[in-house]
A and B are shown apart, each in its own frame.
Chain A
Amino acid sequence: MVAHVIAKLMGPRESRLWGIVSMRKALLSGLAAALMVVSMPASAGTPKNILLETARPVPDAREVHVYVGQEEIAAEINPSQVSMVTGGGLLGALIDIQIQAERAKKAEAAIQPIRTALQGFDVDALAEASARSAIEKMPWFQPGEMTFSRDTSASGRIAVLDAARTSQVALITFVYDVSPDFSAIRVLMAVEFAPRDTPQGKSATWRLTNGIVYRQSVTSVVQLVRPATDINYNAGVWAENGGARARRALTLAFAKVAELAPRATLITQADAKAMNSKPHKAVVVAGFAGRQQDSDDGGTLLFNGGYVHIQTLEEQA
């Protein structure tokens, strides 16, 4: 219960980056951020999901910390909405908790065959390769030493900043999971640039909140061709042949976020406004809301403050 309240207080975006909570919620928060961006007065400054050209160079270099806060693929559930529908209250919250507990148990049981099939498939290495590939596409990046960690918590990040040898640190966080209906495998890559030093009078967390230089996330969704409504059936499809489909989907998704993240750093405020404007249809695809952008690879590209790319996994003969 308290954790539920804390999660709500922290908000989806922070919860996701410091633990693994709801990717969909997080993306919705991204959309919300984008909506806030376009409605913000000019005096509010540049939103954190826009990297100004002047903010690209750093005096020394950027240490790179790659985070994968999970050892295996995660399961996601749709949150229960009873308390929202009934206008809040303790009873509604307790019902939500009970419903979510049942959903989580079912999802965790259903995902086990996929986890077993993915044993020995080095997703951490995929994540590192994805981070390296993204960085190579940003010639201005000035990457320093790269490290790997599972500690995505605020305390862990603060410790990293405290120990940094460069004035700015790149925190690249990956989250990968199966959608609540098990029809898709998703990879989210969040890129943050945080200052090492805390100005006088600010708290250590300031570097991860108001002091953060840049925070953007991109997502790649890879769907099954013909998913069923039964999560156990879909899990079986991902898991069969030693998890062949799951392995391909993860490989595709990690490659796609490595392509989208550098592109996202080029978005200007004017671009964001244009991508959020009416000529781009507001759609919901694979559970993600956003404005549809052009995509030349057969998939669907949405913008909701960050990019979300959705593609279908081709069946191999």
Chain B
Amino acid sequence: MIRIRRAAGALALATASLALTAWVPAPVEIDAVFVDRVPEGYQKSKEPPAACAVNVVEVADLRRAKDTIGVVAGRSVKAPADTTAWLTSIMGGLNARGLAVVSDPARAQGANDITVRVGLKSVWLTAVSTNKAANVVLHIRAELAGRPPIDADYRGSLTNVNWASTKDELKNLTNAAFAEALNAIAPDLRRLCETPLQAPG
């Protein structure tokens, strides 16, 4: 019964405050430039760079509703208008994970070039009580001559306390979720690079 009374109070307060202040949080737009959160392990790693170059030849936004990536505490979070630039920038995060990335569909295919096609299946932010959560799913199709291709979804997610739903908070959360996905993609691309060439037929 106490909870019901609290809820009734909150409802009355909500209606009154909205009606009186007409306060509506302004939407924020995430920048198209990916700011990486490189995991500590990669920074300290003495691992040599992979012998293959990663050529991102195609990026595609596969989402249905591309405009909004979430609403956190009433604030609408907009995706960058240029999702191609955004995804290209995100894939550039593989550089910090020991892979040399180029984004040049016209580049002549080298024997050690991994050709990568990226699809953004999902990116969304939400509030979980007093927290905010970001989830992303990237589909990767990676091919290297003579090796079995990678055709898989990679997920990144992060949850932390929502202090004020500022642009920086929401941007950092989104970037961190993409960084998690990149952390999962990088080792698979390295493995593909290190897979011995399969004998034909």
Residues of A within 8 A of B (CB): 1-4, 6-15, 18-22, 25, 28-29, 31-33, 35-36, 69-72, 74-77, 79, 84, 96-97, 100-101, 103-105, 107-108, 112, 115-116, 119, 124, 148-156, 158, 203-206, 208-210, 289
Q: Pick from B11, B137, B163: contact of A119, CB below 8 A.
A: B137
Besides the known contacts A84-B6, A158-B24, 14 further A-B residue pairs in the complex with CB atoms under 8 A apart: A3-B127, A3-B162, A3-B164, A10-B18, A14-B14, A15-B127, A19-B70, A28-B3, A31-B4, A36-B8, A70-B70, A74-B128, A101-B159, A155-B76
A12 engages B10 (CB within 8 Å): yes
State whether the Cβ of B131 lies closer than 8 Å to any Cβ in chain A: yes
1/0 contact string of B53-75 vs chain A (CB within 8 Å): 00000000001110111111111
B130 engages A4 (CB within 8 Å): yes
User: How many Å lie between the Cα of A124 and that of B160 in the bound state?
Assistant: 27
Instruction: List the A residue with the shortest CB-CB distance to B157.
Output: A108
> Distance (Å) between the CB of A108 and the closest chain B CB?
5
Interface hub of B26, B153, B161 (most chain A Cβ within 10 A)? B161
State whether the Cβ of B15 lies closer than 8 Å to any Cβ in chain A: yes
Q: Pick from B7, B19, B135: contact of A29, CB below 8 A.
A: B7
Whether A79 touches B129, Cβ cut-off 8 Å, given contacts A9-B17, A11-B10, A148-B64, is: yes
Is the contact region of chain B dominated by helix, strand, or loop, or is it mixed? mixed
Query: What is the size category of the interface that chain B forms with chain A?
Result: 35 or more
Whether A151 touches B135, Cβ cut-off 8 Å, given contacts A13-B14, A158-B24, A210-B19, is: no
> Distance (Å) between the CB of B116 and the closest chain A CB?
20
Interface hub of B11, B22, B132, B161 (most chain A Cβ within 10 A)? B11
B4 engages A32 (CB within 8 Å): yes
Q: Pick from A70, A116, A156: contact of B126, CB below 8 A.
A: A70
> Distance (Å) between the CB of A76 and the closest chain B CB?
7
Whether A149 touches B68, Cβ cut-off 8 Å, given contacts A4-B130, A6-B74, is: yes
Closest 5 CB pairs of A and B: A11-B14, A203-B22, A32-B8, A153-B76, A104-B131
User: How many Å lie between the Cα of A9 and that of B24 in the bound state?
Assistant: 12
B68 engages A151 (CB within 8 Å): yes
Q: Pick from A10, A11, A97: contact of B130, CB below 8 A.
A: A97
Instruction: List the A residue with the shortest CB-CB distance to B74.
Output: A18
A11 engages B11 (CB within 8 Å): yes
State whether the Cβ of B155 lies closer than 8 Å to any Cβ in chain A: yes
> Distance (Å) between the CB of B3 and the closest chain A CB?
6
A3 engages B71 (CB within 8 Å): no
Instruction: List the A residue with the shortest CB-CB distance to B132.
Output: A3
Whether A31 touches B7, Cβ cut-off 8 Å, given contacts A3-B164, A107-B128, A203-B22, is: yes
Interface hub of A72, A84, A153, A203 (most chain B Cβ within 10 A)? A153
State whether the Cβ of B86 lies closer than 8 Å to any Cβ in chain A: no
B17 engages A72 (CB within 8 Å): no
State whether the Cβ of B148 lies closer than 8 Å to any Cβ in chain A: no
> Distance (Å) between the CB of B38 and the closest chain A CB?
21
A9 engages B161 (CB within 8 Å): no
> Distance (Å) between the CB of A210 and the closest chain B CB?
5
Whether A72 touches B64, Cβ cut-off 8 Å, given contacts A1-B163, A2-B164, is: no
Q: Kindly list chain A residues whose C-beta atoms are within 8 Å of the C-beta of B24.
A: 153-155, 158, 204-205
B7 engages A12 (CB within 8 Å): yes
User: How many Å lie between the Cα of A124 and that of B66 in the bound state?
Assistant: 13
Q: Kindly list chain B residues whose C-beta atoms are within 8 Å of the C-beta of A204.
A: 22, 24
Residues of B93-115 whose CB lies within 8 A of A: none
> Distance (Å) between the CB of A175 and the closest chain B CB?
10
B8 engages A35 (CB within 8 Å): yes
- 21 CB contacts below 8 A, A to B, read A1-B130, A3-B163, A9-B13, A9-B14, A19-B74, A21-B127, A32-B7, A69-B68, A69-B70, A72-B124, A75-B133, A100-B129, A115-B155, A149-B67, A149-B68, A150-B124, A156-B71, A204-B24, A206-B19, A208-B18, A209-B15
User: How many Å lie between the Cα of A21 and that of B129 in the bound state?
Assistant: 6
Q: Pick from A70, A76, A105, A203: contact of B124, CB below 8 A.
A: A70
User: How many Å lie between the Cα of A19 and that of B13 in the bound state?
Assistant: 18
1/0 contact string of B67-94 vs chain A (CB within 8 Å): 1111111111000000000000000000
Whether A115 touches B11, Cβ cut-off 8 Å, given contacts A101-B160, A151-B68, A151-B71, is: no
A205 engages B22 (CB within 8 Å): yes
State whether the Cβ of B27 lies closer than 8 Å to any Cβ in chain A: yes
User: How many Å lie between the Cα of A29 and that of B4 in the bound state?
Assistant: 7
Whether A11 touches B19, Cβ cut-off 8 Å, given contacts A35-B4, A151-B68, A155-B27, is: no
A69 engages B71 (CB within 8 Å): yes
User: How many Å lie between the Cα of A66 and that of B72 in the bound state?
Assistant: 19
